[in-house]
Amino acid sequence: MAMVVFYAVIIVLLVVIFVLLLLYISAKNNPYYVVYDEETKRALTRRVTNLKQELESEISEFDVDEWEKALEETLDEEVKNL
């Protein structure tokens, strides 16, 4: 009886090791993260910085009153079309 339990435990351990091995191989082939080299990191940093500066300049130039007027005109036109 003890030998049957021993063999059952061995079989379960082998199955668990096999499943873990498959998970490891799957994770190695399809990583969820990306590693960039230093040049790519610098390029991405420059791009993000440039986009941030462009956005800040557009926000400073944005006129809320003009936008509200255009929105009201559009709403008025939509109401007339109903």
Indicate yes or no: pTM above 0.75. Answer: no
Domain boundaries, the chain: 1-33, 34-82
Helix (H) or strand (E) holding 55: helix 38-61
- Are 12 and 20 in contact by the 8 Å Cβ rule? The answer is no
Can you tell me which residue has the tokens 């993000």?
48
Query: Tens digit of pLDDT per residue, the chain (82 long)?
Result: 889 999 999 999 999 999 999 999 988 887 676 677 888 889 999 999 999 999 988 888 788 888 889 899 999 898 988 8
Can you tell me which residue has the tokens 């390029």?
43
Task: Round to whole Å and give the CA distance between 81 and 54.
Answer: 37
Q: How far is CA 18 from the centre of its chain?
A: 31
